[in-house]
Amino acid sequence: MLKCKVDIELWDRIRKWWTLNSINISSISETFEDKNPNISSPQGRKIWQAITWVTGYTLWKNRNECVFEKNKSTSASLFKDIQAKSFEWVSSRWKKGNIEWLNWLSNPLSYAVSQTKKKGIG
Protein backbone atom coordinates (compact mmCIF):
# COMPACT_ATOMS: atom_id res chain seq x y z
CA MET A 1 0.00 0.00 0.00
CA LEU A 2 2.98 2.29 0.37
CA LYS A 3 5.84 0.84 -1.63
CA CYS A 4 4.68 -0.01 -5.17
CA LYS A 5 5.42 2.37 -8.06
CA VAL A 6 1.85 3.69 -8.44
CA ASP A 7 1.53 4.29 -4.70
CA ILE A 8 4.85 6.15 -4.51
CA GLU A 9 3.88 8.31 -7.51
CA LEU A 10 0.50 9.00 -5.92
CA TRP A 11 1.98 10.11 -2.59
CA ASP A 12 4.41 12.32 -4.52
CA ARG A 13 1.47 13.98 -6.32
CA ILE A 14 -0.21 14.56 -2.96
CA ARG A 15 3.01 16.03 -1.54
CA LYS A 16 3.24 18.46 -4.46
CA TRP A 17 -0.46 19.31 -4.22
CA TRP A 18 0.03 20.27 -0.57
CA THR A 19 3.38 21.94 -1.34
CA LEU A 20 5.08 19.79 1.30
CA ASN A 21 8.79 19.02 1.30
CA SER A 22 8.19 15.43 2.36
CA ILE A 23 5.57 12.98 3.52
CA ASN A 24 6.35 10.22 6.01
CA ILE A 25 5.13 7.02 4.38
CA SER A 26 7.35 4.57 6.24
CA SER A 27 4.45 2.66 7.79
CA ILE A 28 0.68 2.47 7.41
CA SER A 29 0.03 3.45 11.02
CA GLU A 30 2.23 6.57 10.79
CA THR A 31 0.70 7.52 7.46
CA PHE A 32 -2.84 7.55 8.79
CA GLU A 33 -2.09 9.45 11.97
CA ASP A 34 -2.52 13.22 11.80
CA LYS A 35 1.08 13.88 12.84
CA ASN A 36 2.48 15.64 9.79
CA PRO A 37 5.16 18.00 11.15
CA ASN A 38 4.82 20.24 8.09
CA ILE A 39 1.25 21.22 9.03
CA SER A 40 0.94 23.47 12.07
CA SER A 41 -2.74 24.45 11.94
CA PRO A 42 -5.15 22.10 13.80
CA GLN A 43 -7.69 22.54 11.00
CA GLY A 44 -5.02 21.80 8.40
CA ARG A 45 -4.12 18.60 10.26
CA LYS A 46 -7.78 17.54 10.25
CA ILE A 47 -7.98 18.13 6.52
CA TRP A 48 -4.68 16.28 6.02
CA GLN A 49 -6.02 13.34 8.01
CA ALA A 50 -9.15 13.26 5.84
CA ILE A 51 -7.01 13.18 2.71
CA THR A 52 -4.80 10.39 4.03
CA TRP A 53 -7.88 8.30 4.86
CA VAL A 54 -9.38 8.94 1.42
CA THR A 55 -6.01 8.01 -0.11
CA GLY A 56 -5.87 4.78 1.92
CA TYR A 57 -9.37 3.82 0.86
CA THR A 58 -8.60 4.66 -2.78
CA LEU A 59 -5.41 2.58 -2.74
CA TRP A 60 -7.17 -0.35 -1.07
CA LYS A 61 -10.01 -0.19 -3.60
CA ASN A 62 -7.55 0.07 -6.50
CA ARG A 63 -5.56 -2.90 -5.23
CA ASN A 64 -8.73 -5.02 -5.11
CA GLU A 65 -9.65 -3.93 -8.64
CA CYS A 66 -6.15 -4.91 -9.83
CA VAL A 67 -6.33 -8.33 -8.21
CA PHE A 68 -9.95 -9.30 -8.81
CA GLU A 69 -10.93 -7.39 -11.94
CA LYS A 70 -7.52 -7.00 -13.62
CA ASN A 71 -8.23 -3.26 -13.82
CA LYS A 72 -5.15 -1.07 -13.40
CA SER A 73 -5.38 2.63 -12.66
CA THR A 74 -2.68 5.24 -13.08
CA SER A 75 -1.49 7.48 -10.28
CA ALA A 76 -2.94 10.43 -12.23
CA SER A 77 -6.46 8.98 -12.29
CA LEU A 78 -6.25 7.91 -8.64
CA PHE A 79 -5.05 11.39 -7.69
CA LYS A 80 -8.02 13.06 -9.40
CA ASP A 81 -10.34 10.67 -7.57
CA ILE A 82 -8.69 11.51 -4.24
CA GLN A 83 -8.99 15.23 -4.88
CA ALA A 84 -12.71 14.90 -5.68
CA LYS A 85 -13.59 12.53 -2.82
CA SER A 86 -11.62 14.46 -0.21
CA PHE A 87 -13.16 17.74 -1.39
CA GLU A 88 -16.62 16.24 -1.06
CA TRP A 89 -15.89 14.91 2.43
CA VAL A 90 -14.19 18.03 3.80
CA SER A 91 -16.53 20.58 2.20
CA SER A 92 -19.58 18.76 3.55
CA ARG A 93 -18.16 19.11 7.08
CA TRP A 94 -16.97 22.72 6.82
CA LYS A 95 -18.84 24.69 9.52
CA LYS A 96 -19.51 27.97 7.73
CA GLY A 97 -19.19 29.11 4.16
CA ASN A 98 -18.01 27.13 1.20
CA ILE A 99 -14.71 25.68 0.19
CA GLU A 100 -14.05 26.70 -3.38
CA TRP A 101 -13.22 23.85 -5.76
CA LEU A 102 -10.50 25.76 -7.62
CA ASN A 103 -8.84 26.77 -4.33
CA TRP A 104 -9.01 23.14 -3.24
CA LEU A 105 -7.31 22.01 -6.43
CA SER A 106 -4.52 24.56 -6.15
CA ASN A 107 -3.58 23.85 -2.52
CA PRO A 108 -6.00 22.73 0.20
CA LEU A 109 -3.53 23.52 2.97
CA SER A 110 -3.08 27.19 2.09
CA TYR A 111 -6.82 27.53 1.68
CA ALA A 112 -7.50 25.75 4.97
CA VAL A 113 -5.04 27.88 6.93
CA SER A 114 -6.37 31.18 5.59
CA GLN A 115 -10.03 30.23 5.90
CA THR A 116 -10.03 28.44 9.25
CA LYS A 117 -9.12 31.66 11.02
CA LYS A 118 -12.49 32.98 9.89
CA LYS A 119 -14.74 29.93 9.68
CA GLY A 120 -13.48 26.81 11.45
CA ILE A 121 -13.95 23.17 10.63
CA GLY A 122 -15.73 20.54 12.66
The per-residue pLDDT for 76 is 93
Q: Looking at the predicted structure, is the pLDDT value of residue 14 above 80?
A: yes
| 16 domain residue, yes or no | no
Estimate the crossing angle of helix 75-93 against helix 108-116, to 10 degrees.
Answer: 10
Give the range of the structural domain holding residue 100, as residue numbers without chain letter. 40-122
- Would the pTM of this model clear 0.85, i.e. be above it? no
| pLDDT bucket at 116, cuts 50 / 70 / 90 | very low
Rounded-to-integer distance, Cα 16 and Cα 12, Å: 6
Task: Note the pLDDT of residue 112.
Answer: 57
- The pLDDT tens digits for 25-78 are 666 666 666 566 667 777 888 888 889 899 989 999 988 888 888 887 888 999
Quote the mean pLDDT of the chain: 79
Do the domain assignments include residue 68?
A: yes
Write the CA distances from 87 to 8, 82, 116, 118, integer angstroms: 22, 8, 15, 19
CA distance 102 to 61: 26
- Would you say residue 90 lies in a domain? yes
Domain count, the chain: 1
24 within some domain: no
Query: Once rounded to an integer, what is the mean pLDDT over residues 94-114?
Result: 74
User: For residues 56 and 78, is the Cβ–Cβ distance under 8 A?
Assistant: no
Give me the DSSP letters along 39-80. --SHHHHHHHHHHHHHHHHHHHHHHHHHHHH-----HHHHHH
